[in-house]
Amino acid sequence: MKKRFIHFFVFGFIVILSFGAVQNPFTLNYLGQLKGESEMVLKKEDSLYEEIVARADSYSEPARDARIDRVWKAVPGYNGIEVDIEASYDKMKKLEQFDEKRLVFKETSPNVHLDDLPPSPIYKGNEHKPVVAFLVNVAWGNEYLPEMLKTLKKHELHTTFFLDGSWVKNNPNLAIMLKEEGHEIGNHAYSHPDMSKLTAERINEEIQKTNSVIEATINVTPKWFAPPSGSFNQAVVDHARNQGMHTILWSVDTVDWRKPNSQEMVNRVLSKVHNGAMILMHPTEPTAQGLDSLITGIKEKGYRIGTVSEVLSEERVTLGVTLNGNRGTNSDN
């Protein structure tokens, strides 16, 4: 009680002094600083503020650094989360009691990022991030693209299409349609070669020629490169990185090119899907027929579906304790 009296006395004294400091901006600044410090002292002695501070650690999760994994090679980092104590207090002070639903959170960044790692292939996202992506490699299968796009639009989803450069040259209208539908565009080389058997000159030519035709057709510069048939060596990874691109592989395969029964394909993927999964597919009949069931099944397992960029970003998703202070599940897309 004595402390509160002293603080109110100091605040009153500051108010009185301020009448004589109207013409002195330096005094006003100093008085403003004193006022802020006094309010901060009062806040820190508030039992509600103390409770928020005491509980804050129980809601925190550490940031995860990007790393080179022995099996999975380059794995992206994932932001941590911590309570924004000042903002949370401001939202609760009118209630004068702790309310978990009014907690405000902020993200914390890893110390090591994906771009800090040496050139390495990427097979999946961070294992703590419940987001997955479809990697749709396109060099053929035009007849199945409209149905796949219709299904993706039905679910309000965007994913990543890796385009063969010669396919873009021969099918510019389809490439434009993919962009206009809001999908991310990646590089799938120009002539579907075995990249691991090419010279350095040919590796660069396959990547750069594809980027050039994509840029000319849809004004997009890809940042992800998917080697045809998943065939690559370190030289491919290095040359892609020199052109500002990461090399993308997959952790779950539909094996749709073998033309399995669509339900078998769906069951196969759902049995293997995981946090950060990158799911390889092509425009094929099984994929076109099974995509709706596959999307529904993935959502029912609690995963979001997004682009490769979304899977590999450090940004957190709205699962568990969210950044707006609520506990809940992830959204449908």
Please give the full DSSP string across 270-291, using - where no structure is assigned: HHH--TT-EEEE-S-HHHHHHH
Class of the domain covering 123-312? alpha beta
Percent of the chain scored above 70 by pLDDT?
82
Rounded distance between C-alpha atoms, residue 99 and residue 315, angstroms: 26
Which pTM does this prediction carry? 0.82
pLDDT average, residue stretch 314-328? 55
pLDDT average, residue stretch 121-149? 98
Lowest mean pLDDT among 73-77, 99-103, 228-232, 295-299: 99-103
What residues form DSSP beta bridges with 122? 73, 248
Q: 137-186: per-residue pLDDT in tens?
A: 999 999 999 999 999 999 999 999 999 999 999 999 999 999 999 999 99
What DSSP character marks residue 230? G
Q: What ranges do the domains of the chain cover?
A: 1-45, 58-113+321-333, 123-312
pLDDT at 62: 96
Assess contact for 190 and 208: CB atoms under 8 A. no
Q: 230-244: per-residue pLDDT in tens?
A: 999 999 999 999 999
Hey, what long-range contacts does 142-147 have (CB within 8 A, 24 or more apart)? 142/171, 142/174, 142/283, 143/283, 144/283, 144/284, 144/285, 144/287, 144/288, 145/174, 145/178, 145/283, 147/288, 147/289, 147/291
Q: Which phi and psi angles does 67 have, rounded to 5°?
A: -155, 165
